[in-house]
Structure 1
Amino acid sequence: MSELLNQFECILDSDPLINEVGFIHPSQFATLESEASDALDGGDGSFWIRDHKLGISSEVVLLLYKAAREQFMNAIAEYRKLDGLSLPSAEALGIVVMKCSKALVLLSPDFGTAWNSRKLIVSKKTQASMFTDELRLSALVLSYSPKSEQAWSHRRWVIKNMARNRTTLQEILREESDLVEKIAERSKMNYRAWNHRCWLVSYMDREQVIQELKKSKTWAGLHVSDNSCFHYRMRIAAVSKKRGRVILVLKFI
């Protein structure tokens, strides 16, 4: 199991831009491999990757999960013993925790302890790139588990921390709004996704509130059965009213 997990972790490290994960029946691997000469084969058809798309054989998911969970639980237990100490061993353990927790949340999106361990380690860092990596990882999880509450919650934690850098916040909010809309197209009545978008409104400036009203009006007209969007528009109206822009809201609703 450890060899299979090591291979999985190596694949994740080799392509940090993986943007989609799928679980594939073993019978489909032969077709995929015949179409791509650069496919990665785990010796028994365990993994396939091309153009930043990763396929995992459904036959090995349980084995991978058990191996990743065991590695993670051992690593986080050792890390907590050294937490707060500026030791090279603590830094090395932190790297192991980040690596195995990444594999674990991809296999089990709502494994809260794994997500929390990532918060613990990232919160001690100063590199902005680490927060960007966390957004990328949670987006990857949401690509196949769009209703994962832990993944959405993790994104909000990351954005709260990134909000301290006001120069990039508005761009992040635009990207988040687009992400929710993209996911909502594939995952109907996704309350968690729209609730995340509602949460974003409190961070938006005047211009973004106007743009969100315009965008959501068009989307609502094309998806009249998805009442989550209407709830979102009510949230925008409430925030706008609180800020004293009732006339502006009524103009666009």
Structure 2
Amino acid sequence: MASNDKRGWRLFSDLNNAFRRDPEINEFDFIPVLEPKNNRSPVVLVDHKLGLELWSVKILFQYVYHTLMGWRNKKSYKFIDPQEIAMLARAVVLVNPECYTAWNVRKELIESGDILELDDLRLSALVLTKHPKSSETFVHRRWVLGRFIENHLQSSQGSTKSTGSCVDGFISMEAIDLNLEASQNQLSLQNGDGSLNVSAVSDYHRQMKVEIDVCRCAAEKYPCNYYAWSQRIWLIQHCYNCSTQVLLSELQVTESWVERHISDTCGFHYRQFLLTTLFAQRDQLRDQFSMQYVAIMQKEHKFVQDLISTYPGHEAMWNHRKYVFHSLHNLYCTECRRDEGENESNLKKTRLENDHHILEQKEIDCVQQNELKCKDIHQKRFAQNYIDWIQKTVIK
């Protein structure tokens, strides 16, 4: 049943006028005004920030939702212009982004050419500023990005390579920009692959920078935002083909993030994804970047040790330490087995430097001498659980 409140139409009109006045709106939120206090519009636009007074949210939503659903279900046979349908769907998802029907309407309008992909990506990014953990918004964004990627692959001049893979050519360590959030365009052209359209590659990486920023902002706004970090993993896998250089970049970029969010398990899980993926590319790490995977893991081990010492009593860091230590332990065990068939001098050297039994004892001693003596009761409990885990699970 359509809403009979005529204020809904006026609110819808004011919202559309705000988007027409400022196409660069980059943030949306509700303003905690519970009742109208004067004769002015509850739609507020200041410095690219869009606000909607709380008292008007329900009125607006009832109007746009019932109008859109009436058209969708053919209950209203009145012709509605595709652009108005797009604006109705936009208003619906701004208030309630979990309405998958509204997103499906926008998908159909994208396929018919009535909405541009980049415009829709801007809208979903705007929605995430208010609803950073909206699963439907991230799902829809992946669908649009899939079309965006396909279109850019088709725009390449006869290349069959994914745009993301063109950073995988040999690059000296001095040429690596290890800040993915700061610059992508230079990275994409380092190996001089002339088979790709340079403008298309530049546009592609510019948009991918936006995608990383969207994920980062959503993760900042909502703690342990599984959907934002899953989206970031999806980007690395599907938009960058797990490029070794991008993985190294992300590993460095997210160091400062986890330092500022020490209880966020999703941030540590993302680093585990990066490290696990780099393990599969350890030969390329050695041959193209002159880096040893074990050195990366040793650095990560020192990193998480320092975090635990600096910020005691947070379980997320201890769980990450388990992953890192278990990975290092497996690497040392593999190295020892590999060297068993070599000559005695090499075997002796391996046992002195890489023996996994020494690693186990050193780790236990380190925890007993530091974290187990901490005054924080939670830190002591986590430390004891960690030692028990090593003795029961790792040592066999």
List aligned pairs for 1:9-88, cutoff 5 A: 9-26=16-33, 43-77=39-73
Task: Name structure 2 gaps, 5 residues minimum.
Answer: 1-7, 154-200, 301-396
1:101-147 per-position Cα deviation (integer Å, ceiling 9, x unaligned): 0011111111110011101110232x9x8111111101111111110
**Shift in CA distance, 150/250, structure 1 to aligned 2, threshold 3 Å:** farther
1:26-45 per-position Cα deviation (integer Å, ceiling 9, x unaligned): 37987xxxxxxxxxx9x344
- Distance between the aligned counterparts of 1:29 and 1:4, measured in 2? 13
**Shift in CA distance, 48/120, structure 1 to aligned 2, threshold 3 Å:** same
Contact kept, 8 Å, 1:9 with 1:100, in 2: the verdict is no
2:166 equivalent to 1:159 = no
Contact kept, 8 Å, 1:20 with 1:53, in 2: the verdict is yes
1:100 deviates by 0.5
2:107 equivalent to 1:119 = yes
What is residue 215 of structure 1 aligned with on the other side? 253
2:174 equivalent to 1:139 = no
Q: Which amino acid aligns with 1:176?
A: E
Q: Which amino acid aligns with 2:249?
A: Q
- Distance between the aligned counterparts of 1:27 and 1:66, measured in 2? 17
1:24-80 per-position Cα deviation (integer Å, ceiling 9, x unaligned): 1337987xxxxxxxxxx9x344121111111211111111000001221133345xx
2:142 equivalent to 1:104 = no
Task: Name structure 1 gaps, 5 residues minimum.
Answer: 31-40, 82-88
2:83 equivalent to 1:95 = yes
Q: Which amino acid aligns with 2:109?
A: I
1:96 deviates by 2.0
**Shift in CA distance, 9/250, structure 1 to aligned 2, threshold 3 Å:** farther
What is residue 238 of structure 1 aligned with on the other side? 276
- Distance between the aligned counterparts of 1:208 and 1:28, measured in 2? 50
- Distance between the aligned counterparts of 2:246 and 2:60, measured in 1? 43
Aligned pairs, number: 230
- Distance between the aligned counterparts of 1:57 and 1:162, measured in 2? 35
1:161 deviates by 0.9
- Distance between the aligned counterparts of 2:104 and 2:253, measured in 1? 34
Q: Which amino acid aligns with 1:184?
A: A
Q: Which amino acid aligns with 1:99?
A: M
Q: Which amino acid aligns with 2:72?
A: I
Q: Which has the higher contact order (CA 8 A, sep 6+)?
A: 1
Contact kept, 8 Å, 2:14 with 2:41, in 1: the verdict is no
- Distance between the aligned counterparts of 2:66 and 2:36, measured in 1? 28
- Distance between the aligned counterparts of 1:16 and 1:28, measured in 2? 28
Q: Which amino acid aligns with 1:182?
A: C
1:162 deviates by 0.8
Comparing 220-229 with 163-172, greater Cα deviation is found at 163-172
Q: Which amino acid aligns with 1:207?
A: Q
Contact kept, 8 Å, 1:201 with 1:236, in 2: the verdict is no
SS in 1 for 2:116: helix
**Shift in CA distance, 68/47, structure 1 to aligned 2, threshold 3 Å:** same
Contact kept, 8 Å, 2:36 with 2:55, in 1: the verdict is no
1:211 deviates by 0.7
SS in 2 for 1:59: helix
Contact kept, 8 Å, 2:26 with 2:126, in 1: the verdict is yes
List aligned pairs for 1:177-196, cutoff 5 A: 177-196=212-231
SS in 2 for 1:133: helix
- Distance between the aligned counterparts of 1:220 and 1:64, measured in 2? 39
1:139-185 per-position Cα deviation (integer Å, ceiling 9, x unaligned): 11111111011111121111111112142333322222222223322
Q: TM-score, normalised by structure 2?
A: 0.53
2:211 equivalent to 1:176 = yes
Contact kept, 8 Å, 2:225 with 2:266, in 1: the verdict is yes
- Distance between the aligned counterparts of 1:187 and 1:106, measured in 2? 17
The one of 217, 233, 251 equivalent to 1:198 is 233
